[in-house]
């Protein structure tokens, strides 16, 4: 673990040095920790070796530690003194070192800390505020004092083993440009903390593996293999103490737990020696545990677990990160890869492998953001499908006069007309919360089905489809996931109409799969709102199509849900993003309940919950951004209801808690521990849908063993991770009258369908221990897939409409706040809105942020026109990346093409290289000749498509890729001319290629590029005046271009159509004769000059 803690007080920092850094958590007289100086800035200041009090105090007071002079320009009250970066070893390693005193362990631990701090030092910056400049400059130097500690804070007077290091880093850095010491900027370092933590553990585990210890990866962490779990638990008393206190106080935030740990510390105990601690620790261990610990040491050097390569680690990281994100921070991807490779790889190897992947990236502020070619291609495919479907279908309203229901508003009528008269395959309707989208949907569907088409209604969630839509009259409405799995339904929708409500909750991959199922004959109608929540999956597809695919959208803005005018106007302001007006109107309604004390505030909410529910128990909807605050709200409501006599005696039941693992995480055997529950939602090999298994352990080969409900054992098929989810068993107390929320689509014991998100009251319990719900459904005692239904997150509340809504949003949930979340939370109610917080002003600032995510095409910076051009091409990963990078303007210097044009202006006969993709994309924007022709479509200057050009020759259509293929190592015209004068051909010195993946494939690229360029030049009648010697063709290159498609790397270039081949052959024959004549004349001229003619290359060797 890596923590970064700021210190803002000089006095507190000096006290921290005396009582914290210099002393262990146990100490006797003359037992102190000796610190060490590190960093380039420390060397520049003239300090090294052991840290003494005077040097430390001088830097804390912003004085030079040698001269005593003032160091940085400003010394003011509250000045940030520095940051304490502390690195922690896992408990198994701490215990191993404490009991064995293996010096090699301490050595590699300190080395891993030092290497990581040195890497972080390279990110050190300082502010630049000169000559109007406002930014940061990298300095790359820091000074820090390193203190190694071996124990944790005591519990019951005795500390536990805990190996960790404090690196107190001072707020000073030397600016080489301004030649002076200045305050350091740690923003970039703090943002790199998650990567630095993973890099530290990667270095440490690799070194430990080299010492012979076996590393056992856990989910996001690791331990020394063979260390008993019971020993780890016995020496983790301080962690257990903090977790117990946090659970009692309802604290789940990591930072809040750190603060709780600081507040609950015991004082350091005086007079203890290390021998005293060893004796106390030994008493806790059983004889068997001591034997197992000894075995860990004796087994050093035994065969290690199967190695993990850097390639496998990066593959895993990319799969995990891009499952739910279109773009990601580079450090986040690297950190995931490093964690996957603990004990096998190191940061250098991971970075090299990452760099070879050709991701598309750019720097935004302090962060390096990137996306993959696959993500970009998926987005462009979706955009292309929608764009190509414009004006390709018949209007669904028929040819006669269109009549729209009179009960609809003018906006709603216009929206219905848009849907019925559109000739686009994909149609969109955008509308905010409560504008009546479902109402107009019924009228539109009725009109469509009168024309003989059938409308199939879908929504992303079970509640939105099987509850909201079915209640509105769409009896067959179902989830989009059901459509993906039901092959019979997929056949039924062909040639009909797919209508997806709440389309804003669909990711790019899911919506693209819908479009693939739709094909060319099925219409698709999307309704949703981009101002509400984005999908959990990768990509904001609905917004992307509106902004990049030219999707024609009808919009409905008049809100109808809220019955009170002031409430409705407040929601209108929220939908427009006008937070100031919205908060002022909510204030006028008396919506805010601002109470500092958590317990008092939640009791107030619980009282309102009961009061608004009335005698019929028609309870309001309670919404909170986070599960942590929702748990506090739930506890308060249940307590109030119990006191009011609305709840009966409690009973204990089993609960399955979804761990929310991504698919990549579910494929890793090391993530599974005994007791976890695996349930299949699709049929697997020999496993039926709904089957439930419990993990029992792992085999010697690392496979996951599990046991079924009937006692059968089998191995978990990790390759089928898409078909199952992983749960953790918990205990939940349920009373008669409780509200329960179903957490998984299922059927009750009596055959009733239960949809994920449904909320029911508990009517009673049967003698068999079953739970009887308010809809009559019976849940088995081991059903497990339910939770309390008192409070929901804003994500799960979207699509709901209720009479009263209560929003719980304190400072604890501000990190999850956004304008989309707040808009969804507040807009669920019809009559009443109340917002419970401890900081009304802070809430307004927190919800000012947007949760809208960047798309891959947005990161690439591509325009709609350039997207259209690229979609017409079959580009490989290499060409995509180079094209996108050039479009973003990463290289502002003149392109290759611009330089080539200037050369040809000076010498029109000069033969240059074919442009590369970087220049090709640059050229596309301004590629219009003086007479208005477009060369990018294959028309040379002065000609037009279908007409004759120079010398009366017809210009056949040339592949757009011909200008993109380049041979960067070809001899230049000047080199050839010079060699001819000397009487021999001297090869041009090539620049050596770096030892990368590109170098390994360079010959294949060069051969394909040369061959395709030769064919294209012949077809276009633009053969070089002095053509390069023909290269012998081998294998597929010897095949005529008409018979195949030319493969260059990942880019597949379509061959010329057969209709042009006769013309190409005639042209090639004429050109061959011309070339032969030129060659004869050239040889005669050379003989007259007394030089030997240039010999033609030998023919290719026939196999």
Two tokens, residue 135:
């930014």
Two tokens, residue 746:
């299922």
Q: Residue 958: its pLDDT value, please?
A: 33
Residue 115 burial (CB < 10 Å; 0-12/13-18/19+)? middle
Instruction: Please give the distance of CA 649 from its chain centroid, rounded to a whole number.
Output: 45
Q: Residue 274: its pLDDT value, please?
A: 79
Q: Does the structure show a pLDDT above 80 at 1047?
A: no
Two tokens, residue 627:
């599960």
Two tokens, residue 367:
């962060």
Q: Strands 802-808, 759-765: parallel, antiparallel or unpaired by DSSP?
A: unpaired
Q: Does the structure show a pLDDT above 60 at 605?
A: yes
The CATH code that applies to domain 376-551 is 3.40.50.300
Two tokens, residue 389:
């479907």
Residue 917 burial (CB < 10 Å; 0-12/13-18/19+)? buried
Using pLDDT thresholds of 50, 70 and 90, give the confidence band for residue 36.
Answer: very high
Q: Which of 17-31, 296-310, 876-890 has the highest mean pLDDT?
A: 296-310
Q: Taking Cα atoms as reference points, which of 106, 102, 101, 103 lies closest to residue 87? A: 106
Q: What angle do CA 435, 440, 442 make, to 5 degrees?
A: 135
Q: Residue 637: its pLDDT value, please?
A: 96
Which tens digit of pLDDT belongs to each residue from 145-192? 999 998 887 777 788 899 999 999 999 999 999 999 999 999 889 888
Using pLDDT thresholds of 50, 70 and 90, give the confidence band for residue 74.
Answer: confident
What DSSP letter does each residue of 814-861 carry, written as one string?
A: GGG--HHHHHHHHTTEEEEEEEEES-HHHHHHHTTS------HHHHHT
425 with 389: CB under 8 angstroms?
A: yes
Largest CA distance in the chain: 118
Two tokens, residue 423:
């000739």
Query: Which residues is 592 bridged to in the sheet?
Result: 835
Q: Residue 433: its pLDDT value, please?
A: 82
Helix axes 330-340, 193-211, angle to 10 degrees: 20
81/20: higher pLDDT? 81
What DSSP letter does each residue of 647-712 carry, written as one string?
A: S--EEEEEEEEE----HHHHT-GGG--TT-EEEESS-BTTB-TT-EEEEEEE-TTSPEEEEETTS-
Using pLDDT thresholds of 50, 70 and 90, give the confidence band for residue 276.
Answer: confident
Query: Which residues is 657 bridged to in the sheet?
Result: 728
Question: Could you give the residue ranges of the DSSP H alpha helices within 469-564?
Answer: 470-471, 480-485, 487-492, 508-518, 541-548
Q: Residue 279: its pLDDT value, please?
A: 87
Averaged confidence pLDDT in the chain: 79
Average pLDDT over residues 907-932: 44
Give the three-state DSSP class for 170: strand
Two tokens, residue 703:
């496979």
Q: Residue 880: its pLDDT value, please?
A: 52
- DSSP type of residue 160: P
What DSSP letter does each residue of 396-424 carry, written as one string?
A: TT-SS-----TTS-HHHHHHHHHHHH---
Calculate what percentage of the chain has a pLDDT beyond 90. 48
Q: Is the pTM of this model over 0.85?
A: no
Q: Does the structure show a pLDDT above 80 at 425?
A: yes
CA-to-CA separations, 426 to 376, 500, 521, 548, in angstroms, rounded: 21, 11, 11, 14
Using pLDDT thresholds of 50, 70 and 90, give the confidence band for residue 15.
Answer: confident
Range in 236-250, 766-780, 800-814 with the lowest mean pLDDT: 236-250
Q: How far apart are the C-alpha atoms of 343 and 349, rounded to whole Å?
A: 13
Residue 939 burial (CB < 10 Å; 0-12/13-18/19+)? buried
Q: How far apart are the C-alpha atoms of 1034 and 1038, rounded to whole Å?
A: 6
Q: Residue 416: its pLDDT value, please?
A: 93
Which tens digit of pLDDT belongs to each residue from 392-415? 999 998 877 777 888 888 889 999
Query: What is the rounded radius of gyration, in angstroms, for the C-alpha atoms of the chain?
Result: 35
What's domain 559-649+790-850's architecture? 3-Layer(aba) Sandwich (3.40)
What contacts 253, CB < 8 A, 6 or more positions away? 628, 812
What contacts 653, CB < 8 A, 6 or more positions away? 731, 732, 733, 734, 771, 781, 784
Q: How far apart are the C-alpha atoms of 427 and 553, rounded to whole Å?
A: 7
Instruction: Please give the distance of CA 365 from its chain centroid, rounded to a whole number.
Output: 18
Provide the phi-psi class of 949: left if phi over 0, else alpha when psi is between -120 and 50, else beta: beta
Q: How far apart are the C-alpha atoms of 182 and 809, rounded to whole Å?
A: 41
Q: Does the structure show a pLDDT above 60 at 902?
A: no
- DSSP type of residue 995: S
Q: Does the structure show a pLDDT above 70 at 54?
A: yes
Q: Taking Cα atoms as reference points, which of 755, 760, 724, 722 lies closest to residue 740? A: 760
Q: Does the structure show a pLDDT above 50 at 693?
A: yes
CATH of 651-729, one of 2.30.30.30, 2.60.40.10, 3.30.565.10, 3.40.50.1220: 2.30.30.30
The tally of CA atoms less than 13 A away on the side-chain side of residue 909 is 5
Q: How far apart are the C-alpha atoms of 6 and 85, rounded to whole Å?
A: 9
Helix axes 565-575, 819-826, angle to 10 degrees: 160
Domains 376-551 and 559-649+790-850 alike in fold? yes
Q: How far apart are the C-alpha atoms of 57 and 786, rounded to whole Å?
A: 58
Average pLDDT over residues 437-460: 92
Using pLDDT thresholds of 50, 70 and 90, give the confidence band for residue 297.
Answer: confident
Q: Does the structure show a pLDDT above 80 at 581?
A: yes
Using pLDDT thresholds of 50, 70 and 90, give the confidence band for residue 886.
Answer: low
Query: Which residues is 707 bridged to in the sheet?
Result: 694, 713
Q: Where are the domains of the chain?
A: 2-298, 376-551, 559-649+790-850, 651-729, 873-936+957-1088
Q: How far apart are the C-alpha atoms of 445 and 453, rounded to whole Å?
A: 9
407/255: higher pLDDT? 407
Which tens digit of pLDDT belongs to each residue from 940-995? 444 333 433 333 333 333 333 333 333 433 444 455 555 555 554 444 444 444 44
172 with 182: CB under 8 angstroms?
A: yes
Q: Residue 797: its pLDDT value, please?
A: 87
Using pLDDT thresholds of 50, 70 and 90, give the confidence band for residue 364.
Answer: confident
Q: How far apart are the C-alpha atoms of 970 and 404, rounded to whole Å?
A: 69
Q: How far apart are the C-alpha atoms of 971 and 987, rounded to whole Å?
A: 7
Q: Residue 841: its pLDDT value, please?
A: 92
Q: Taking Cα atoms as reference points, which of 579, 640, 612, 641 lies closest to residue 806? A: 612
Q: Does the structure show a pLDDT above 50 at 1032?
A: no
């Amino acid at each position: 673990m890596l923590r970064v803690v700021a210190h803002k007080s000089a006095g507190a920092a000096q006290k921290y040095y005396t009582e914290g850094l210099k002393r262990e958590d146990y100490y006797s007289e003359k037992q102190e920790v000796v610190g060490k100086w590190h960093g380039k800035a420390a060397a520049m200041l003239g300090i090294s070796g052991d840290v003494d009090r005077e040097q430390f105090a001088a830097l804390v007071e912003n004085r030079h530690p040698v001269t005593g002079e003032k160091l940085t320009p400003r010394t003011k009250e509250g000045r940030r003194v520095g940051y304490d970066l502390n690195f922690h070893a896992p408990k198994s390693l701490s215990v191993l070192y404490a009991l064995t005193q293996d010096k090699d362990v301490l050595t590699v631990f300190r080395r891993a800390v030092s290497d990581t701090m040195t890497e972080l030092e390279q990110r050190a910056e300082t502010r630049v505020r000169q000559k109007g400049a406002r930014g940061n400059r990298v300095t790359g130097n820091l000074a820090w004092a390193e203190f190694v500690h071996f124990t944790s804070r005591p519990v019951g007077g005795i500390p536990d083993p805990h190996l960790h290091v404090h690196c107190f880093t001072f707020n000073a850095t030397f600016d080489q440009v301004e030649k002076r010491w200045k305050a350091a900027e740690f923003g970039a370092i703090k943002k790199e903390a998650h990567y630095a933590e993973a890099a530290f553990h990667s270095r440490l585990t690799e070194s430990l593996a080299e010492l012979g210890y076996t590393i056992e990866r856990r989910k996001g962490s690791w331990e020394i293999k063979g260390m008993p779990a019971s020993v780890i638990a016995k020496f983790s008393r301080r962690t257990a103490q903090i977790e117990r206190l946090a659970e009692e106080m309802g604290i789940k935030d990591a930072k809040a737990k750190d603060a709780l740990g600081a507040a609950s510390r015991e004082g350091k105990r005086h007079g203890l020696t290390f021998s005293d601690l060893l004796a106390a620790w030994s008493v806790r261990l059983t004889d068997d545990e001591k034997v197992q610990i000894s075995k860990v040491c004796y087994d050093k050097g035994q065969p290690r677990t199967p190695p993990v390569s850097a390639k496998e680690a990066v593959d895993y990281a990319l799969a995990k990160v891009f499952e739910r994100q279109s773009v990601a921070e580079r450090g986040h991807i690297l950190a995931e890869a490093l964690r996957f490779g603990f004990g096998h790889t190191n940061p250098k190897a991971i970075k090299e492998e990452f760099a070879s992947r050709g991701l598309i990236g750019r720097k935004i502020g302090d962060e390096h953001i990137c996306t993959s070619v696959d993500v970009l291609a998926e987005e462009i495919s979706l955009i292309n499908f929608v764009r190509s479907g414009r004006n390709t279908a018949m209007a669904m309203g028929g040819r006669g006069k269109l009549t729209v229901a009179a009960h609809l508003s003018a906006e709603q009528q216009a929206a219905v007309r848009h849907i019925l008269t559109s000739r686009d395959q994909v149609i969109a309707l955008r509308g905010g919360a409560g504008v009546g989208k479902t109402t107009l949907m019924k009228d539109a569907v009725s009109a469509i089905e009168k024309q003989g088409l059938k409308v199939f209604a879908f929504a992303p969630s079970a509640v939105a489809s099987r509850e909201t839509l079915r209640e509105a009259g769409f009896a067959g409405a179902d989830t989009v996931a059901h459509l993906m799995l039901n092959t019979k339904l997929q056949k039924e929708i062909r040639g009909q109409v797919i209508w997806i409500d709440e389309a804003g909750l669909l990711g790019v991959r899911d919506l693209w799969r819908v479009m693939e199922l739709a094909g060319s004959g099925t219409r698709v109608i999307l309704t949703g709102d981009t101002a509400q929540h984005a999908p959990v999956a990768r990509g904001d597809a609905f917004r992307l199509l509106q902004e990049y695919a030219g999707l024609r959208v009808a919009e409905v803005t008049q809100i109808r849900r809220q019955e009170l005018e002031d409430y409705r106007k407040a929601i209108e302001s929220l939908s427009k993003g006008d937070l100031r007006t919205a908060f002022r109107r909510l204030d006028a309604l008396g919506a805010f309940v601002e109470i500092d004390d958590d317990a008092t505030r939640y009791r107030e909410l619980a009282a309102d919950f009961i009061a608004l529910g009335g005698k019929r128990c028609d309870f309001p909807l309670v919404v909170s951004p986070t599960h942590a605050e929702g748990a506090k709200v739930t506890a308060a409501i249940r307590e109030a209801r119990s006191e009011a006599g609305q709840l009966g005696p409690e009973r204990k039941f089993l609960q399955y808690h979804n761990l929310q693992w991504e698919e990549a995480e579910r494929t890793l055997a090391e993530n599974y521990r005994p007791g976890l529950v695996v349930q299949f939602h699709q049929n697997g090999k020999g496993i039926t849908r709904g089957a439930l298994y419990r993990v029992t352990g792992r085999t010697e080969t690392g496979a996951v063993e599990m046991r079924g409900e009937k006692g059968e054992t089998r191995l978990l098929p990790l390759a089928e991770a898409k078909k199952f989810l992983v749960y953790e068993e918990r205990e939940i107390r349920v009373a008669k009258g409780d509200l329960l929320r179903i957490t998984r689509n299922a059927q009750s014991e009596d055959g009733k369908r239960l949809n994920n998100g449904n909320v029911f009251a508990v009517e009673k319990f049967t003698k068999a221990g079953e739970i009887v719900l308010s809809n009559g459904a019976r849940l088995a005692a081991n059903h497990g897939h339910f939770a309390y239904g008192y409070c929901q997150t804003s994500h799960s509340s979207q699509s709901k409409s209720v009479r009263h809504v209560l929003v719980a949003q304190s400072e604890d949930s501000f990190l999850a706040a956004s304008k989309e979340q707040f808009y969804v939370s507040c807009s669920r109610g019809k009559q009443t809105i109340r917002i419970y917080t401890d900081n009304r002003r802070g809430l307004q600032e927190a919800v000012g942020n947007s949760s809208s995510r960047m798309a891959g095409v947005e990161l690439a910076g591509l325009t709609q026109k350039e997207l259209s051009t690229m979609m017409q091409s079959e580009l490989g990963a290499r060409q995509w990346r180079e094209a996108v990078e050039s479009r973003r303007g990463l290289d502002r210097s003149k392109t290759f093409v611009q330089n080539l044009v200037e050369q040809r202006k000076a010498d029109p006969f000069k033969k240059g290289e074919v442009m590369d993709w970087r220049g090709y994309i640059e050229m596309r924007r301004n590629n219009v000749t003086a007479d208005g022709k477009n060369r990018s479509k294959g028309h040379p200057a002065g000609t037009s498509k279908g007409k004759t050009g120079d010398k009366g020759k017809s210009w056949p259509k040339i592949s757009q890729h011909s200008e993109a293929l380049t041979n960067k190592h070809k001899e230049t015209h000047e080199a050839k001319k010079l060699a001819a004068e000397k009487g021999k051909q001297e090869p041009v010195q090539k620049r050596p290629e770096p030892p990368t993946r590109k170098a390994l494939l360079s010959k294949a690229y060069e051969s394909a590029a040369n061959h395709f360029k030769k064919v294209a030049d012949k077809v276009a009648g633009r053969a070089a005046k002095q053509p390069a010697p023909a290269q012998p063709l081998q294998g597929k290159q010897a095949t005529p271009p008409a018979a195949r498609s030319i493969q260059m790397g990942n880019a597949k270039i379509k061959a010329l159509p057969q209709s042009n081949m006769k013309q190409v052959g005639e042209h090639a024959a004429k050109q061959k004769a011309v070339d032969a004549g030129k060659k004869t004349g050239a040889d005669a001229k050379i003989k007259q000059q007394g030089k030997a003619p240039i010999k033609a290359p030998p023919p290719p060797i026939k196999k």
